[in-house]
Structure 1
Amino acid sequence: MNLNLRQAIVQRMHDKNDEELFGVIADSIGAEERVLPGLGVLFEIIWQHSEAEQQSQMVTTLKEHLH
């Protein structure tokens, strides 16, 4: 993924409040594939700022729902 794309997505989300961020995520889930890079960038931020225990829980949740 191009760094410029990451920067653009972060910049677009920068001034959103909690409700707006929730809406962006909720509206993007199951939407067109063109929103997937944006969700990927948001997930990357969440992952980078999560403790190891939280990361482990995310992996467990993902694994449970891939079957």
Structure 2
Amino acid sequence: MDFDIRGAVINNIHNMNEQELQELVVDSIQRGEEKLLPGLGVLFEVIWQNSSPSDREEMIGTLRQSLARK
């Protein structure tokens, strides 16, 4: 059985305002539950697809620097 995670996540959040989206992200990260990771991945995918090349470079730079500290 296939489940459309992308579609489900986008359907569940498409009407959220900025505060609700922020709360969703913060709560998902703070809870640290593995089952929330696919949803965060979908959110990152949406951000990535709608970012400029310079914003993408900045995100990758931040990610690389953060991983180097681990």
Distance in 2 of aligned mates of 1:65 and 1:49: 22
Partner of 2:53: 52
Unaligned runs of 5+ in 1: none
Q: TM-score, normalised by structure 1?
A: 0.92
Q: Secondary structure at the match of 1:50?
A: coil
Give the number of equivalent residue pairs: 66
**Rg larger for:** 2
Q: TM-score, normalised by structure 2?
A: 0.88
Distance in 2 of aligned mates of 1:29 and 1:41: 14
What percentage of residue pairs aligned between the two structures are identical?
42
Unaligned runs of 5+ in 2: none
Any runs of at least 4 consecutive aligned residues in structure 1 with deviations exceeding 6 A, and if so which? Answer: none
